[in-house]
């Protein structure tokens, strides 16, 4: 099932009983695709039983109307049965709502036409009961095939109208015409109500399934977010390594990693308290979030005061530019830290690594970025270091403006 909407929109549809009408466009489109796939699977299961049952009706032709059974056989085997096979073969590939509706109505309409043609060819049997087979076709169409309700309505109107005209013109008694028409109208009403109920249940079940899916995805998303900073957490990183790296590796020859560490954060906590420390980390996280390039870049709270930034497609120069933006964004906030060198504000040190991603080598890249971070720390902090290279910018916080 496709994720097509927000949980709030789906729950609003449930509250407003939208399954009795049309859903908002995105949900409606997803439901139409879902229902076509479900019907295609159901039709494949019905194919053999319906073919056998329909063609067994030839026994009634042989017994009741022996003069025209050969015509009925030709219609069965050369027209209706091939149409069934074509329908069940190609229905699943139809994407147009109009064409799928036409296809759903085609098989029962051909069955109905075959029965009524044989009825017309046997005027002496007009007072018999052969025409009641057409009523059974309508019941089968609306209850067993379960087309969309709008398709069911138009198909029922067509079949009932045709049945009325044909039986009205037949040389039969008034009693026979009234009996068969009354039976057809009763069948039309009952089968249409059943079809509407089936469609409502299907739409309601789709909404509830979508609600469950979105709730699950929301819980999963919340479980992958650090509640303090709002950034992704280590659980997200594990999922990313398991499922996301392959796509990035296939698309980009090289990508970047930045390890970000808040300078002298333990001293900050000891000086200002843990509540201030939490505020500091949340502020640094926001500075990182506004400094990355776009949604493809991922910011992960790696642990404590450390953040990991993943930059798909970034080479060394691109990754260094992002890291420098992060460093400056943190400084611009001017968060007081009187025991953090000459600047007396919160700063960050960063290690950068750019290379080809792979699931097996990703932890090694993190370790290399961490090595570069350690080098940045050893060069006076508040700077950026590329792995196995010299620090970029100044080597100490006092030189930064």
H or E stretch including 113?
A: helix 97-120
* Separation CA 104–CA 98 (nearest Å): 10
Q: Which helix (H) or strand (E) holds 353?
A: strand 348-355
C-alpha span between 115 and 180 (Å, rounded): 14
State residue 126's pLDDT score: 53
Listed by start position, the domains of the chain span 7-216, 234-399
**pLDDT score for 131:** 87
**pLDDT band with cut points at 50, 70 and 90 for residue 150:** very high
In degrees and rounded to multiples of 5, residue 138 shows phi and psi of -65, -45
Taking residues 230-257, what's their average pLDDT?
Answer: 89
Q: Any idea how long the chain is?
A: 401
pLDDT at 390: 47
Sequence-ordered alpha helix ranges (H) in 335-389? 362-378
Average pLDDT over residues 64-69: 89
- Coil vs helix vs strand at 262: strand
- Could you tell me the two tokens for 199? 């469609």
Angle between helices 25-56 and 81-90 (to 10 degrees): 150
**pLDDT tens for residues 82-99?**
999 998 888 888 888 899
Is position 306 annotated as part of the catalytic site? no
Q: Which of the residues 295, 305, 306, 324 is marked catalytic?
A: 305
Mean pLDDT value of segment 293-319: 93
Cα–Cα distances in angstroms (integers) from residue 376 to residues 41, 87, 381, in the given order: 61, 69, 6
Q: Are 346 and 256 in contact (CB under 8 A)?
A: no
Is-contact 370 330, C-beta < 8 A?
no
Q: What is the DSSP letter of 259?
A: E
CB-based burial label for 186 (10 Å; 0-12, 13-18, 19+): exposed
Q: Percent helix, strand and coil across the chain, each rounded to 5? A: 70, 10, 25
311, 321 contact by CB (below 8 A)? no
pLDDT band at 371 (very low <50, low <70, confident <90, very high): very high
Q: Which residue has the higher pLDDT, 65 or 112?
A: 112
- This prediction has a pTM of 0.67
Report the chain's terminal Cα–Cα distance, integer Å. 53
Q: How confident is the model at residue 218 (pLDDT cuts 50, 70, 90)?
A: confident
For the record, the structure tokens of 234 come out as 């280590």
CATH 3.40.50.300, domain 234-399, yes or no:
no
| pLDDT of amino acid 1 | 46
Q: Which residues pair with 259 in a beta bridge?
A: 308, 351
Q: Which residues contact 285 (CB under 8 A, 6 or more apart)?
A: 229, 230, 231, 299, 301, 307
Residue 72: closest CA among 49, 91, 96, 56? 56
Residue 73: left if φ>0, alpha if ψ -120 to 50, beta else—which one? alpha
φ and ψ at 214, to 5 degrees?
A: -70, -35
Q: How confident is residue 399, by pLDDT bands cut at 50, 70 and 90?
A: very low
What is the rounded distance in angstroms from the CA atom of residue 376 to the CA atom of residue 397? 11
d(CA 50, CA 111): 11
On the question of pLDDT at 127 being above 90, the answer is no
Given a cut of 70, is residue 128 above it in pLDDT?
no
Given pLDDT bands bounded at 50, 70 and 90, which one contains residue 130?
A: confident
């Amino acid at each position: 099932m496709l994720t097509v909407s927000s949980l709030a929109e789906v729950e609003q549809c449930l509250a407003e009983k939208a399954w009795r009408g049309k859903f908002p466009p995105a949900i409606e489109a997803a439901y139409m695709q879902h229902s076509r796939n479900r019907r295609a699977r159901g039709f494949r299961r019905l194919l053999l039983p319906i073919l056998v049952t329909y063609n067994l009706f030839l026994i009634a032709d042989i017994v009741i109307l022996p003069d025209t059974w050969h015509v009925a056989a030709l219609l069965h085997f050369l027209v209706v049965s091939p149409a069934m096979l074509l329908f069940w073969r190609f229905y699943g590939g139809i994407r147009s709502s109009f064409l799928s509706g036409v296809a759903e109505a085609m098989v029962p309409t051909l069955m109905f036409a075959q029965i009524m043609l044989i009825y017309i060819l046997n005027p002496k049997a007009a007072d018999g009961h052969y025409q009641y087979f057409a009523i059974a076709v309508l019941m089968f169409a609306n209850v067993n095939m379960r087309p969309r309700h709008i398709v069911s309505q138009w198909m029922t109107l067509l079949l009932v109208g045709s049945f009325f005209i044909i039986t009205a013109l037949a040389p039969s008694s008034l009693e026979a015409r009234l009996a068969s028409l009354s039976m057809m109208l009763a069948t039309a009403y009952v089968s249409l109500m059943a079809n509407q109920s089936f469609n409502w249940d299907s739409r309601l079940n789709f909404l509830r399934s979508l609600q469950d899916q979105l709730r699950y995805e929301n819980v999963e998303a919340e479980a992958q977010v650090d509640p303090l900073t709002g950034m992704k957490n280590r659980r997200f990183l594990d999922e990313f390594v398991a499922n996301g790296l392959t796509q990035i590796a296939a698309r980009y020859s090289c990508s970047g990693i930045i390890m970000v560490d808040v300078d002298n954060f333990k001293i900050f906590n000891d000086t200002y308290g843990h509540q201030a420390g939490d505020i500091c980390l949340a502020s640094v996280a926001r500075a990182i979030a506004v400094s990355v390039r776009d949604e493809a870049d991922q910011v992960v709270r790696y642990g404590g005061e450390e953040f990991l930034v993943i930059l798909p497609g970034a080479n060394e120069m691109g990754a260094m530019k992002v890291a420098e933006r992060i460093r400056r964004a943190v400084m611009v906030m001017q968060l007081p830290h009187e025991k953090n060198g000459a600047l007396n504000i919160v700063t960050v040190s960063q290690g950068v690594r750019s290379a080809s991603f792979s699931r097996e080598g990703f932890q090694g890249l993190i370790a290399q970025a961490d090595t570069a971070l350690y080098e940045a720390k050893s060069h006076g902090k508040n700077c950026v270091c590329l792995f196995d290279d010299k620090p970029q910018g100044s080597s100490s916080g006092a030189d930064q403006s």
